[in-house]
Each structure stands twice: as structure tokens, then as C-alpha cells.
Amino acid sequence: MHRRRLQPVPLPFQTSIQSSTSLSSANDLPTTSSAANVVMGPLMHTLQELISTHTESHPQSPLPSHLYDNLFTQIELAPPHKEAFVQHLSQNFQDYLVSGISPEDVSDEDSSNGEPVDDISLHSMQSPEVISWAVRVLGVPDVPSVASMKNVQKMLDAICGVRTLQNHGALGHVYYTNSLEDIVSQEMANPYVHSRLSFYPLDANGYVDSASNALRWLQELDPNLTTPMIQLENESGFREDFYLFEPCRLSSGDYCMPYWWIKRIHADMVGKEELVRLTWQIHPHGDGWVVASAEQRTIPISEFATSFLTLKQSYKAGSIPDPGNIVGIQDAHGGFLPWTYTSDPQKGNNWRQKADGHCVYAFPIWLYCDDTSGNKSKKWNKHNSFLFTAAGLNCQDAHAQYHVHFLATSNITPPLKMLDGIVEQLEKDETHGIWSYDFETKEMVLLIVSVLAMLGDNLMQSEFACHVGFMGKLFCHCCFVKGKDQEQQPGGLRIATDNASVSSDSGSDGSAQRFKPETIQDMVQ
């Protein structure tokens, strides 16, 4: 069969990419320069300004012949009414250019499970050359060349892309991780995400609907990994930074040492949150101060008057000891402990010097690892993946796919070895922080990234904890629950008893050992 070759001319059908302002009839094609903005929207306008590839001054080369053949194959295999079919394809392509892929067309399920579709998908349209040619055929002017689009893509990746870092495992495996710094920085600058984030733990009187309400963030997290400061305006209208573990003066004239920022909901303040500070009382002791850890108070931010830096400048005039001289901590029994919360009390909180006048916020994350297949076919191809979600989101947002970010995946490198590259990034970010643009304040801020909890199923948690797992007698890696003792079975098979420890089950004596399988009901009895 002789196959005709498609020529690079507009197809003879009614195009659906039309502008009511520039077209006089349904058979006309857009010819004005404004039609590009009508059809493609702001994206085409941006590309036009960046590249300036006008079709008259920069004519584009025709589509290569082998791509004509690919597209001709799709048209040749179309239903008998080819003209209506091609018009339908143009309508779908127009919808894709203007609105993107519809959520109804996206599915995570295996495509082999679905019913067969009569329409022929344009797999050849995945080629950038074919897409560029199709847009020009459908009457869109000022179409940038493929090379120009690739250059713009490289530029955008350099400006706001996520870097991929190469890592070498301890066993010689080479694996790659996405930059945690880049992802977190983009999350903070994203207006859709920023409005849903919490940076302070919330005491909701026992009600828990997110990580910020739970005890892990409220009480158990390292204070150095929580949000260390808040900015307040003084009487002169200047902003003052109040940091944790720095002496400050209250409006009542008392002095205190704050150690935790929290938000609190009172019973008489329905739906309203108040930012408060948990503080220790401090008392003058010679030429310094003693922190009384047993004397704790909860103070609202409205009562804070003078920050640490202002006290450093005026403590002599106020006849008080140097606020940078912390003698130690006095516990409830009168004993003294050394001050270790700041490396240099004269300079204040360690994050003050790193922030240099900018705000500092905590950014805890949920870190998760699991083994999945990832194949659309039924063949199992196990690989381990690390991903994370911002813990400052509520439960509903935290489970949305939009907020889940992959860090690493490999079907060769073991999870514990992949974790080395992620821990290396976490240690750097916990020590130095991550600079990001704050969408709300329109300023640069410093973020303290920490792992609030490491999630995973029982098998993965046992692997990370180097635990025997469900196959062992002491099958829980958190408590001392164990399976019931078994008697010696007929046939000379050795069965675990109270005298046989988990470590002895590995067969170190060289003899073959076999254990009776236990059900969950048997193990919990």
C-alpha cells in the first residue's frame, strides 16, 4: 500500500482554537499576534517575551519526514470519519493547551485493568517536535522553537528547580537523592502551602487534629529544634527579636528566661489562639543570673517589654547584672547545673547570629520509607523509596499527594544505606538552617528542619531498628510483649522456650533449628 506523505500545511477541518474577538467565522484561523495570548494564556506571553521568536522574522523549519509518517499513521488508523476524528483530536489538544490535564483523566491505577478505549491516543504527540508542529498547524502564531523551549526549561530548572545529588553508599552503591533544601525552600515560598503550615505547637486542651496539637511537638521535641523567636514592636515602633534561652524583661519589671513558644486556646476564647511563652524565673546572683528551672510560668507575648540585645546595652544603667552572664541552673532540690542551652551566653541564642535580623521558624517533617513495586505490569520490581511531608500541615492536607515529596528511591541500595545521604542533608539543615522566601512577609527567613517522627510499616521499622520482626518471639520493637512458650515437639525439633533467647535463635551452635509457626492470637496470649 502506497502511503501518502503529510505536507506541513493547515489541516482542512474546522479548528476549535478560536478567539471570538479575532475571528469572524468558524472557518477562520487566528492570524493576529493577540491570538497567541488568547489561546495559550500567560505562558505563551512569557515565552514570547523571553525568546522573541516571531514566525515572520524567524521562520521555523518544517517537521522532519519521519515525524510526518508517525502522525500519518495515527490518522490512517483513525475511524472512517477521519475529518470528524481529527477535529475531535484538535479539540482535546486545545483543552490540554489551555487547561492542562483534567483530574478525571489522571489515574494511579494499573492501566491494564481498565476497559479498552476505542479512541486512538496520540502517542506521537509526546514528541516536542510534533507538538510544536501541531500548534503551528492549528493556527497559533509566534510558536517558539523546540530549542528555545529547552533553553527556557534549563533556565527555569536553574532558578527554581530541585537539584539531584549523587551519593555513594558504604557498600559501594551509587544512588541519588533530591535536595531537601530546595524542596523545603519551595514549600515556604508556595502561597498554597504556606497558608496551611503551622510553625508553633498548639495546646488545644486535649483536642488533637494535627501534629502541632500532639505531645511530640508540644513537650518532647528538642527545644533547639522548635521555633526559637518572635518579632514584636516596642514602644518606639522598632521590631525586637525575642529568642529562647535569652534573658528578657517583662512589663511588670520581672526578669525571665523563655524556653518554649506555644499557642494556646482558652475555654473562653472559642476559635482564637494566643501565642504564649513558657519561661523560667531568673534571679540575680553576684554579677550574673541563676535560672530557677522549678519556677515555671506561662506568659503571653503582650507582657514582654525588653529583649536581650536591649538589656545588653542598658543593664548598667538599670543596675542589674550582665544578662549575658548565666551562672547556672538551679533545680528543685537546690543543686546547680551548668548552662548548656547556648554555646556563648554573651551572644545569646545560637540562631540569632545565623539569622542576622531575619525571622527563624521550625519546619518539622514526617519522614517515611516503604518498599513498593511501581510497575504498571503485574511483575514485582521491589524498590525502596524515601519521602517526606511537612508536619506543620493538618491531617487532611498531610495526606494529599500535592504535599508528598520524594527524596530517594532505589531497587539496589538498601534503605539503611540510602538513609546515610538523607541524614547528611538533615544534619546540615539542622545546624545551619535553610534560607527561604516567606510568601506572607515578603522577606527571607531561616528554617530549622527536623524529623518529628519516622513513619513506616512494622517490617520497615524493624529493619531500621535492626529488630528480629514478627518472626521472633519478642516481636515488638517498642515493648516486651512476647509469644507464649512452646513445648518440645515430636520428631526432635527444637522449640523456643523461656531459656532460649532471641539471639540464640540464629543457630550459632551450627545445628539446624526449626520453630513452630505462631498466629497473632497465639502470640498475644
Q: What is the pLDDT of residues 24-63, one digit of tens each?
A: 333 333 333 333 333 334 444 544 554 444 444 444 445 4
What count of residues does the chain have?
A: 525
Residue 403's pLDDT band (cuts 50, 70, 90)? very high
Per-residue confidence (pLDDT) for residue 371, from 0 to 100: 78
Give the range with max mean pLDDT: 3-17, 58-72, 130-144, 349-363.
Answer: 349-363
Q: Three-state DSSP class for 120?
A: coil
Q: Global pTM?
A: 0.64
Alpha helices in 202-349 (DSSP H): 215, 308-314
Neighbours of 404 (CB within 10 A): 14
Residue 31: closest CA among 48, 51, 46, 17:
17
Treating both helix axes as pointing N-terminal to C-terminal, what angle do 42-51 and 146-160 enclose, rounded to 10 degrees?
A: 100
Q: Are 253 and 307 in contact (CB under 8 A)?
A: no
Angle at 274 between CA 273 and CA 280, to 5 degrees: 140
Res. 200: pLDDT tops 60: yes
Q: pLDDT class for 522, splitting at 50, 70, 90?
A: low
Number of neighbours of residue 198 by Cβ within 10 angstroms: 22
Ramachandran assignment for 268, one of left (phi > 0), alpha (psi -120 to 50 degrees), beta (any other): alpha
Instruction: Name the nearest CA neighbour of 312 among 259, 247, 254.
Output: 247
Helix (H) or strand (E) holding 133: helix 128-137
Cβ–Cβ under 8 Å, residues 230 and 301: yes
Span of 106-110, 417-421, 492-496 with lowest mean pLDDT: 106-110
Asked if the model's pLDDT at residue 364 lies above 80, the reply is yes
pLDDT for res 495: 45
Q: Is the pLDDT of residue 504 over 80?
A: no
Average pLDDT rounded to a whole number, residues 167-188: 89
- What are the residues facing 372 on neighbouring strands? 383
All cell numbers assigned to 122:
496520540
Contact 468, 474 (CB under 8 A): yes
Mean pLDDT (the chain) is 73
Cell of 308: 536581650
More confident call, 212 vs 84: 212
| Phi, psi (degrees; rounded to nearest 5) at 244 | -70, 150
**Top-ranked range on mean pLDDT: pick from 238-247, 462-471, 476-485:** 238-247
- Say yes or no to pLDDT of 501 above 70: no
pLDDT of residue 507: 38
Top-confidence residue, 371 or 450: 450
Cα separation of 7 and 377, whole Å? 38
Q: Residue 459 — very low, low, confident or very high, per pLDDT cuts 50/70/90?
A: confident
pLDDT of residue 432: 92
How much is the pLDDT for 302? 85
Weakest-pLDDT range from 25-29, 50-54, 143-147, 225-229: 25-29
Lowest mean pLDDT among 2-6, 72-76, 100-104, 238-242: 2-6
Residue range(s) of every CATH 2.30.30 domain in the chain: 229-348
Low-confidence winner among 21-35, 324-338, 426-440, 510-524 (lowest mean pLDDT): 21-35
- What pLDDT score was predicted for residue 332? 80
| Kind and range of the H or E run holding 447 | strand 443-455
Is the pLDDT score of 443 beyond 80? yes
pLDDT score of 479 more than 80: no
Average pLDDT over residues 145-158: 82
Q: 229-348 domain in CATH 1.10.238? A: no
Average pLDDT estimate for 100-116 = 42
What's residue 363's pLDDT? 95
| pLDDT higher than threshold 50 for residue 420 | yes
What is the DSSP secondary-structure string of 176-226?
Answer: EEE-HHHHHHHHHH-HHHHTT---S-EE-TT--SBGGGSHIIIIIS-GGGS
| Residue with the three cell numbers 474577538 | 21
β-strand partners of 175: 167
pLDDT tops 70 at residue 268: no
Strands 288-300 and 326-330: parallel
By CB atoms closer than 10 A (0-12, 13-18, 19+), residue 272 is: exposed
Listed ranges 174-178, 415-419, 461-465; the one with the highest mean pLDDT: 174-178
User: pLDDT confidence of 156, banded at 50, 70, 90?
Assistant: confident
- C-alpha cell read off for 186: 519551595
- Mean pLDDT of all residues in 178-184: 93
The answer to whether 362 and 167 are in contact (CB under 8 A) is: no
For residues 243-249, average pLDDT:
92
Q: What confidence score (pLDDT) does residue 182 get?
A: 92
User: Which position has the grid cell 495526606?
Assistant: 399
Q: State the cell numbers at 101.
A: 490535564
Q: Using an 8 Å Cβ cutoff, are 392 and 212 in contact?
A: yes
- Among 28-32, 457-461, 487-491, the range with the most confident prediction by mean pLDDT is 457-461
Q: Is the pLDDT of residue 286 over 60?
A: yes
pLDDT value, residue 133: 80
- Distance from C-alpha of 502 to C-alpha of 494, rounded to nearest angstrom: 14
- C-alpha radius of gyration, the chain, whole number: 32
Q: How far is CA 419 from CA 173, 405, 440, 466, in A?
A: 13, 16, 33, 14
Q: Quick check: 189 pLDDT over 70?
A: yes
Q: What is the pLDDT of residue 177?
A: 92
Phi, then psi, of 430 in degrees rounded to 5:
-70, -30
Give, for 296, the enclosing helix (H) or strand (E).
strand 288-300
pLDDT tens, position by position, 65-87:
555 455 445 544 544 554 565 56
**Using 50, 70 and 90 to split pLDDT, how confident is the model at 373?**
low
